[in-house]
Amino acid sequence: MAKLQGFEFWRKTLKGARFVVAPMVDQSELAWRLLSRRHGAQLCYTPMLHAQVFVRDANYRRENLYNEVCEEDRPLITQFCANDPEVFLQAALLAQDYCDAIDLNLGCPQMIAKRGHYGVFLQDEWELLEKMVRLANEKLSVPITCKIRVFEEKDKTVRYAQMLERAGCQLLTVHGRTKDQKGAMTGVANWEHIRAVRKAVNIPVFANGNIQHLSDVERCIQETGVQGVMSAEGNLHNPALFEGVSPPVWEMAGEYLEVVKQYPPCTLSYVRAHLFKLWHHTLQIHQDLREDLAKVKTLEGLASVSNQLRLRCEEEIAKGKDAEEMKSGLPFPHWICQPYVRPPPKKPAANGNSQGPEMRKAVCQKRALEDSDGTADTLSKNKQKKRSRNPNKNFCPEQKPKYIKCEQCGNPKGNKCVFNLCRGCCKKKAYKEVADCPSHGLRFKSKAEKQRAEEGMRKEEARTEGLAVETKRSSSSFQPVPDPSPELQVQPEAASACQSPT
């Protein structure tokens, strides 16, 4: 059967899905996907999986996809992060029988993605991305999809989307934020870029960003013309978002825990993280239970803390605190499922200058740097611990000893290194020249001499053993010559008679 493409794939395989749960690292696992599907989600993604690890580690495959095969959990798209076309293809081939499509993550902006060189940090390498998508489209039995972030320039975003479509992408999810819009600088997603992409391509498009209520979903579809809308943060705080309702938190928490028990195994850290999201607003008030939720080590313990939170909320409701909660700035009382809205980035200064790197650094700074004398009240917590263990420890940069640099790489050299090098450079030089460096504990020359001595001793022992064997062989081959005239031999009695006096 021919592989479905584009709109036909969206209509038949994905059943025209409009309400989509985003791929979330360690958060969109099977139990959460099933809970979301029960409350209106029509399509789910797996958590982002690392293609290279998926290829080499059978346990990783079993824990993240193979064990999660469930008839209720369809349609399903498996998402990978990758930066090598062959590795991405191998991972996709291993996963294609367990899902309805393979998605390439080109939107993750986190530091781990920067270190691993994947996600949004590939968005400028169009030649590589075209090769990855084209190869997957040619070799896989299921369609290939992509999830991207936008560029600052609308035209560049459009050309980027068209390049992926030409390469073989059959469905495109566009997150309306740039690479730098994350954390405290998240801000508002740009739906204009999404609308421009939708008009420019001939494949289905999903929108992502600014989705907190069902009304946002409907408004996004109207303003952008996309086929579906994806939610991540909104879904984590209210898994019933696509139903258009905001139930009490304990209802969603209780139902989720029941699904976890029904479909094990589920990593405890995933469950804990979901409860933290669901109870986010309540835990700002009942902070003692926040600590308990962080410490418990069993599923039963997590359920117990969630139940205690429910009892406290019900007690507040009985006391008529609903009206007081409305004054807290939240649209609903804290025990109702509702999104957490990050505070927007600070506006430009009055003189019109926008925040530069120095301003952002000052805003994000967690604690004051220590003074030159390194007084205890200005030290970081980590340095204060070190100071408690060693009261004489000096944290003043000016008073720290200056190290002599290695002649080759510039790292600090060993104080007594015979080559005046750091350990790494010294090891290479000592190995090449078969030399010793007592300072770095390198004994290449000594080991070579010892090996030669041992080899000489073995040869000497072998030579000695050879001589001994030869001597033994010679002595065993010697035979005494018999007397040719035995009758002439003198008998002992005759000999004694001859010797006696006459």
Active site residue 108: yes
Are 72 and 34 in contact by the 8 Å Cβ rule? The answer is: yes
Query: Could you write out the DSSP letters of every residue in 11-75?
Result: IIISTT--EEEPP-TTTS-HHHHHHHHHTT--EEEPPPEEHHHHHH-HHHHHHHTGGG--TTS-S
* 343 residue type, one letter: P
177's CB contacts (< 8 A; 6+ apart) are 149, 150, 186, 187, 189, 190, 209
Residue 336 DSSP one-character state: B
CA 108 to chain centre: 12
Place of tokens 């803390």: 305
The Cα–Cα gap between 93 and 457 comes to 58
24's CB contacts (< 8 A; 6+ apart) are 47, 48, 232, 236
Q: Which pair of structure tokens corresponds to residue 23?
A: 């791929």
Query: Could you write out the DSSP letters of every residue in 211-239?
Result: --SHHHHHHHHHHH--SEEEESHHHHH-T
Q: Which pair of structure tokens corresponds to residue 120?
A: 């949004």
**Strand pairing of 436-437 and 442-443?**
antiparallel
Q: Which residue in the list 44, 81, 108, 417 is annotated as catalytic?
A: 108
The Cα–Cα gap between 192 and 99 comes to 32
Q: What is the CA radius of gyration of the chain?
A: 38
Place of tokens 């073989």: 168
Are 340 and 234 in contact by the 8 Å Cβ rule? The answer is: no
Are 66 and 44 in contact by the 8 Å Cβ rule? The answer is: no
Long-range contacts of 224-228 (CB under 8 A, 24+ apart): 224/191, 224/194, 224/195, 224/198, 225/195, 225/198, 225/199, 226/194, 226/198, 227/10, 227/16, 227/18, 228/17, 228/18, 228/19, 228/20, 228/42, 228/43, 228/204
CA 9 to chain centre: 31
Place of tokens 């969603």: 252
Residue positions annotated with a catalytic role: 108
